[in-house]
Amino acid sequence: MIKKRVFSGIQPTGQIHLGNYLGAVKNWVDSQDEYENIFCVVNSHAITTTQNPKELRKNTYELAAMLLACGIDMKKSNLFIQSEIDEHPALSWILDCNVSMGEMNRMTQFKDKSAKNPKNVNAGLFNYPVLMAADILLYQADGVPVGEDQKQHLELTRNIAERFNRDFGECFKIPEPMIFKSGSRVMGLDDPTSKMSKSAKGANHAIFLLDTPDVISRKIKKATTDSQTSIVFDKNREGLYNLLGIYEIFTHKTKEVIEQEFEGKGYGEFKSALAEVIIESLKPIREEYEKLVSEKGYIEKILQAGATQVRPIAKSTYNRAKELIGLV
């Protein structure tokens, strides 16, 4: 049976934290046998905010190493760097010329990011969703794993593809959203009302995959809970609910079993158990990462092989779009 093709991208801006891992990367790894996966380090998207060129290059390769350390298997999946495939910006231009300003003005992420970085509201940030559409449509993806914050962008991608196919001829597959249930929304440890984020300034906001055991223990110990004593899954108790959700994913235990496990116990015991399970789960990832980054040239070789595998798909799609639009 032919596997469905899935496309996913991740920006090389800062370290991967627990929210990235549980909400996206772990699901990518776990689904490799089920789908034909194409994973992309979207470094071109990263330059919508000011980047130090050397740092961006370094972060790009370190992110690729982390994805491999987490379990992305190049025998089952393809991993490459966005900027290595010239068809991404080329197709984006064609799509830009077929998207109205009204559609783009409705993109809520542009408004949010503009408010956070008022001194650098550039055209690239405004057109970000169209480049994202090009990323996806180039590879004729059947599905795209998306979080709640990316659903609007994928809907735009679908609209762009449907309109192009209607007006110029069949070119793009219409991708379906894929929303994984487990770990889809991990919240900040210091503020369980906001999603865990790389950009949050709080020292105890996020756990990063390269954090040491001592740092992980400290952050969990300081994580926000409440003044109650029972350890139960209650969405109204946001801090505890977030921590229990993390414990549930790592241990694969049911909610009922977890509540029984901590019945009559306090937050101290629960947090200690949670820290231990996180430390043990992340240990092999951290060790594999250190091994990979020490092998000079290995990551570059892997990424070049990934680009070589997917480039023919991108070229075929772009050439078809270019022909249909009248550029050849």
Q: Do 21 and 153 share a domain, yes or no?
A: yes
- Whether pLDDT at 175 is above 90: yes
* Crossing angle of helices 298-325 and 87-96, rounded to 10°: 30
Q: How confident is the model at residue 148 (pLDDT cuts 50, 70, 90)?
A: low
pTM of the model: 0.90
Specify if 200 maps to a domain. Answer: no
Residue 315's contacts (CB-CB under 8 Å, 6 or more residues apart) are 87
The predicted model gives 33-55 an average pLDDT of 93
For 292-316, how does the pLDDT look when each residue is reduced to its tens digit (9 = 90+)?
999 879 999 999 999 999 999 999 9
Asked if the structure places residue 243 within a domain, the reply is yes
- Local confidence band at 147 (pLDDT 50, 70, 90 cut-offs): confident
Same domain (yes/no): 141, 283: no
pLDDT 10s digits, 193-206 = 998 988 777 889 99
Residue 207 counted as domain residue: no
Same domain, 163 and 266: no
The encoded tokens of residue 263 equal: 């019945």
Residue 130 has pLDDT above 90, yes or no: yes
Range of the domain at 168: 5-184+296-325
Q: What per-residue confidence (pLDDT) applies to 233? A: 96
Residues 52 and 132 in one domain: yes
Mean pLDDT, rounded, for 280-288: 97
Helix, strand, or coil (residue 308): helix
Tell me, yes or no, whether 308 and 167 share the same domain.
yes
Q: Is 191 inside a domain boundary?
A: no
Strand partners, 145: 178
Residue 38 pairs in a beta bridge with 7, 78
**Is residue 196 included in any domain, yes or no?**
no
Give CA–CA dist 109/156, Å, rounded: 13
Highest mean pLDDT range out of 46-50, 99-103, 168-172? 168-172
CATH at 219: 1.10.240.10
Locus of tokens 């894929």 = 178
With a cut of 90, say whether residue 49 has pLDDT above it: no
Q: What pLDDT sits at residue 120?
A: 74
With a cut of 70, say whether residue 279 has pLDDT above it: yes
**Interval 144-155 mean pLDDT:** 81
Task: Output helix, strand, coil percentages for the chain, rounded to the nearest 5.
Answer: 55, 10, 35
Q: Which of 15-19, 175-179, 288-292 has the highest mean pLDDT?
A: 288-292
Residues taking part in catalysis: 113, 195, 198
Specify whether 53 is located in the same domain as 123.
yes
Asked whether residue 205 is domain-assigned, the answer is no
Q: Work out the end-to-end distance of the chain between its first and last CA atoms, rounded to an integer number of angstroms.
A: 36
Say yes or no: 24 and 90 in one domain.
yes
Residue 156: half-sphere exposure toward Cβ, Cα within 13 Å: 28
CA distance 237 to 35: 37
- Contact predicate 271/220, CB 8 Å: yes
Average pLDDT of the chain to the nearest whole number: 92
**Domain CATH code at residue 72:** 3.40.50.620
Alpha helices (H) in 106-206, listed in sequence order: 108-116, 123-138, 151-168
What sign results for the dihedral spanned by CA atoms 68, 74, 76, 77? positive
222 domain residue, yes or no: yes
Q: Is the pLDDT of residue 163 over 90?
A: yes
Q: C-alpha distances in angstroms, 83 versus 44, 47, 60, 271, 303? A: 6, 11, 11, 42, 11
Domain count, the chain: 2
Please say whether the beta carbons of 131 and 62 come within 8 A: no
Average of per-residue pLDDT across 213-226: 96
- By DSSP bridging, strand 36-41 and strand 5-10 are parallel
**Model confidence pLDDT, tens digit, residues 64-123:** 999 999 999 999 999 999 999 999 999 999 999 999 988 888 877 776 776 677 777 788
219 and 163 co-located in one domain: no
> Which residue type sits at 75?
K
Considering the domain architecture, whether residues 159 and 227 belong to the same structural domain is answered as: no
